[in-house]
Structure 1
């Protein structure tokens, strides 16, 4: 079943206004999280056309709330992890400086 879905998507080729095959992307904006669309392959460049077409129907309003909540939670978890790693590194550095100070004091002074 999954293979036929992939094949049907491959057969559904769309040409954008600049004559190129459009590409499928996923929106991660707050208004359309996870929603797929087709657009110009040169999006973001000065030679891109304005071709745009949604592939997915508009989601239920609750979908947006749930997806955006999950994205915020994932971002918060990533931020917490980075802070924790930074804190661990600082503690290791402080411990190393302390041990080095003790060794210098014991053997040099």
Structure 2
């Protein structure tokens, strides 16, 4: 017990030095209040700027509409090809009939 009293101050000093070192290394991981307030303000401003931009669901809706438009265009192309073939056959018939 006397040895503990004799070296107790050294143990306490070592623990305090270790604790001070831990706190000193952890302080870099924390943000000061002033910087946090500034970052909070910046985040709020960015949120206001981004609020009007389209969301993921908006983009998905546009993608669906474009897919429908593409399908309609392809259907019209097929219809026009069929009409073109019919007109060509009629023209061929008319050219042969007059010759």
Identify the TM-score tier after normalising by the shorter chain: 0.3 to 0.5
Greater per-residue helix proportion: 2
Greater per-residue strand proportion: 1
The normalised TM-score by structure 1 is: 0.38
The normalised TM-score by structure 2 is: 0.41
**Which of 1 and 2 has higher RCO (CA within 8 Å, sep 6+)?**
1
